[in-house]
Chains A and B, each alone.
Chain A
Amino acid sequence: MIQVVCIKQVADTETRVKVAADGKSLDPAGVTWILNPYDEFAVEQALRVKEQLGAGEVIAISLGGAGVPTTLRSVLAMGADRAIHLKADGPAPDSLQVARALATEIAPLGAGLVWLGKQAVDDDAAQVGPMLAELLHLPCVTVVASFELAGDRAKVEREIEGGREVVEVTLPAVLTADKGLNEPRYASLKGIMAAKKKTIDEKPAALGEPNLEVKSLALPPARSAGRIVGKGIEAVPELVRLLREEAKVI
């Protein structure tokens, strides 16, 4: 079975966000770029499925600028077989643009499973997975917390408010991975060496027209530091009084 994993290069979660001169985007100066944390679980699950089946191919795809091959290489080092870089410089495309470009590339591959992270930790949109499924006319399960493959279907669980939905999905399908789906592996030295010989095909991304216009990116109003009510258990009555009478939250 061919599996596709869509990954995104994002700013490290430790990044202190600064707004670029355009007033609309992240200032990239000094930012460390990483594989989107949720995508690690998607990559790991695809590799486990390949290992379970004892055959198949895992193709990593990423859309973005000149830095993206570094992240694709790290996914190849984890064990993906080959990669495709959909090149898109310039302003960040919206989710529907990304989904369309990915769908154009993925449709002819005949993949049984298409994996993504549940969301990217930069734009927090959580849109590309279901949009891609819609464009590929495939079923989709988002925020997958457990996955069991059985023939041409899978039993998966997804987190919902106050519990979990158990879903039976027929393949081919699109799945988005939540943290906790598995324990992602580290690339081995052998994997890193092997990754150097694997191919990354570079193609222009078929983005089409934008569907959302970003007007601005701004920092949220800084929270004014409150006060230290006191030290130790002596301060507890005062804290309770403040919560009740001043903040009126209890």
Chain B
Amino acid sequence: MSILVFIEQREGRVRPVSREALGEATRLAATLGGPVVGVCAASADPGLAALGAAGADKVLLATGPRFEWYDAEAMTAAVVAAIESLEPDLVLFAASAMGKDLSPRVAARIGVGLASDCTALTPQGGTLLASRPVFAGKALQTVRFPRKPAMASLRPKVFATITREGATTPVERLVVALDAAPSRARVTSVVAASGGKTDLTESEIIVSGGRGLKGPEHFDLVENLAAALGATVGASRAVVDAGWRPHADQVGQTGKTVSPKLYVAVGISGAIQHLAGMSSSRCIVAINKDPDAPIFKVADYGLVGDLFEVVPALTEAVQKLNAHV
């Protein structure tokens, strides 16, 4: 028995979602057996030895110029080579932009099913059950894998990392046969979002704005509160469809499903498709002038009032708190 974890790196840095996957692999290895082996493809070693502290017992590294940027076909070859050499019982990916693109290709090449965007993996009688939100979180589906290896991608921010103080892991070279032809889908550049914005799916705190803001010019209220909280700005579908905010900001069924530790909904009434996308947040705060708004049914803390007064006051209170810490 062994568990293979795809280690995602961008520009020489291992992404936090891969540490989350290693954490879950380590917990599963206690029941299913180990070792936990990472596989990484990069133009140079992004400091993989340090992943011992995150739970890896060994990491396989494929290097080459094709791995400088994300290249689905080359990385599929690397992960498949690792699967063929290790014959793992379970292969884990992060359900990130990269993992969601790569994992189905690998599953199709190997010819097994894939459970994507899982929020729980549970060993049961020698097999593994995977739980995954469907209908943007309105329901939870549980699946099992009829064949090995089982393959799953893990929702960011759900699985805890582990720390083994000072542990390091051996890094072994993985040889991947790539054809000499250039990549058919080549990343030519990466454009950073303005202000180096954290992705909503990976944010600890989110402040989202809705119709209650009355116009795009008032989103600075949301932005200021978000800045005070160290939060990422989100939006309801209504304001994205109205063109106030880009689609990348949308939370809900046709946007992003998020699970931050704190979600603040400002001027959002709480349409069912929005609630679906944020109900798994650990703590929800709603600020709305309508006491009957559906958002209050899921909010841990509700504040009924005019957001144009409440939000600046809240921002100021948080800023004062930060100044005292």
A interface residues (Cβ-Cβ under 8 A, vs B): 11, 13-17, 19, 26, 37-38, 94-96, 99, 121-131, 133-135, 138-143, 145, 155, 157-170, 173, 178-180, 210-220, 223, 225-233, 235-237, 239-240, 242-244, 247, 249-250
Contact = CB atoms under 8 A, between A and B. Distances in A.
A228 to B, nearest CB: 4
Interface in B227-253: 229, 246-248, 250, 253
Interface string B291-318: 1000011111111111001100110011
A1 B183 CA distance: 23
User: Counting chain B CB atoms within 10 Å of each CB, which of A26, A94, A127, A135 scores highest?
Assistant: A127
B305 A131 contact: no
A243 B309 contact: no
Contact of B139 (A127, A131, A211, A220): A220
A17 B296 contact: no
A233 B309 CA distance: 7
B67 to A, nearest CB: 15
B190 A164 contact: yes
Interface stretch (B23-31, B68-76, B167-175): B68-76
A134 B104 contact: yes
B60 interface: no
B65 interface: no
A163 B193 contact: yes
B72 A166 contact: no
A239 B298 CA distance: 16
Given A130-B104, A165-B190, A217 B139 contact: yes
Given A125-B116, A130-B72, A134-B105, A220 B188 contact: no
15 contacts: A15-B135, A19-B139, A123-B141, A124-B117, A124-B132, A124-B257, A130-B108, A134-B109, A168-B185, A180-B247, A212-B113, A223-B298, A226-B300, A231-B305, A243-B283
A212 B291 contact: no
Interface in B141-195: 141-147, 183-193
B232 to A, nearest CB: 10
A213 B146 CA distance: 7
A165 B70 contact: yes
A130 B117 contact: no
B185 A139 contact: yes
B197 interface: yes
B212 to A, nearest CB: 15
Interface in B216-275: 229, 246-248, 250, 253-255, 257, 261-262, 271-273
Contacts of B310: 232-233, 235-236
A141 B188 CA distance: 13
Contacts of A226: 284, 296, 299-302
B285 interface: yes
B301 A229 contact: yes
A218 B140 contact: yes
A140 B73 CA distance: 9
Interface stretch (B34-42, B50-58, B84-92, B199-207): B199-207
Interface in B94-150: 96-98, 100-105, 107-109, 111-117, 129, 132-147
Contacts of A211: 107, 111-113, 146-147
A153 to B, nearest CB: 9
Contact of A161 (B97, B103, B284): B97
A231 to B, nearest CB: 5
Given A227-B302, A228-B302, A161 B147 contact: no
Given A220-B139, A226-B302, A240 B318 contact: yes
Given A138-B184, A220-B138, A242-B301, 15 more contacts: A14-B271, A14-B272, A26-B135, A124-B117, A124-B136, A131-B107, A134-B76, A134-B104, A143-B97, A165-B189, A168-B188, A170-B184, A215-B143, A218-B142, A237-B317
B142 A160 contact: no
A166 B191 CA distance: 7
B68 to A, nearest CB: 13
Contacts of A237: 317
